[in-house]
Chains A and B, each alone.
Chain A
Amino acid sequence: GQQLNQSPQSMFIQEGEDVSMNCTSSSIFNTWLWYKQEPGEGPVLLIALYKAGELTSNGRLTAQFGITRKDSFLNISASIPSDVGIYFCAGQKGSNYKLTFGKGTLLTVNP
């Protein structure tokens, strides 16, 4: 099925560092979403992007909808221990409501 290529697969960083992760596809998407999942819980929506080139922030998180509509980026500034978790990108294409998910980026923050 449709795949989103999410990278990196995992990151080990020190508290206070900035983090960047991205998602790419060979197809065009109408919507990009970024979720965070903590152990034992369901994914929680962080940011939604609806327009090519859109840059949206949510606290220390900033995400961008790539101008080609085939990619998206998530940046976390000044990481803290509670940022630990798995971050998923998701894209929506066409006229249906289904999402395609990346395989996730596991973020570990060392205090």
Chain B
Amino acid sequence: DAEITQSPRHKITETGRQVTLACHQTWNHNNMFWYRQDLGHGLRLIHYSYGVHDTNKGEVSDGYSVSRSNTEDLPLTLESAASSQTSVYFCASSSISRLSSYNEQFFGPGTRLTVL
């Protein structure tokens, strides 16, 4: 079955380190999204991509970057981790085809990141 996976599921790192969170989907979806989830803020969009080599900033993109070299993967990089980036991170994907319910985003299981 098609799916979306994230790794690692849990990560503890130190302030200032570079961290990369992986997201892999096997639906062949063009659209991929990264969110962070924090108490009191719900899900906030960090970055998104509508296809290979396309990346766009979301509402909370400072301190994060993404790259899209193929359809299946959208890794999220924290260039220099800060304590304010302690959060749960979710990756999601969706189709661009109107025949495939194109606005329905499917989420991965999440990565819990702690920055000490």
Contact = CB atoms under 8 A, between A and B. Distances in A.
A28 interface: no
Interface residues of B, number: 25
B42, B92, B94, B107 interface centre (most CB from chain A within 10 Å): B42
Contacts, number: 52
Given A97-B94, A97-B102, A41 B109 contact: yes
Interface stretch (B43-51, B64-72, B75-83): B43-51
A99 B40 CA distance: 18
Contacts of B102: 97
Interface stretch (A11-19, A54-62, A63-71, A101-109): A101-109
Interface of A: 1, 30-31, 33, 35, 40-45, 48, 50, 88, 90, 92, 97-99, 101-104
8 contacts: A1-B59, A40-B109, A41-B109, A42-B92, A42-B107, A42-B109, A42-B110, A44-B107
Interface of B: 31, 33, 40-43, 45, 48, 50, 58-59, 90, 92, 94, 96, 101-110
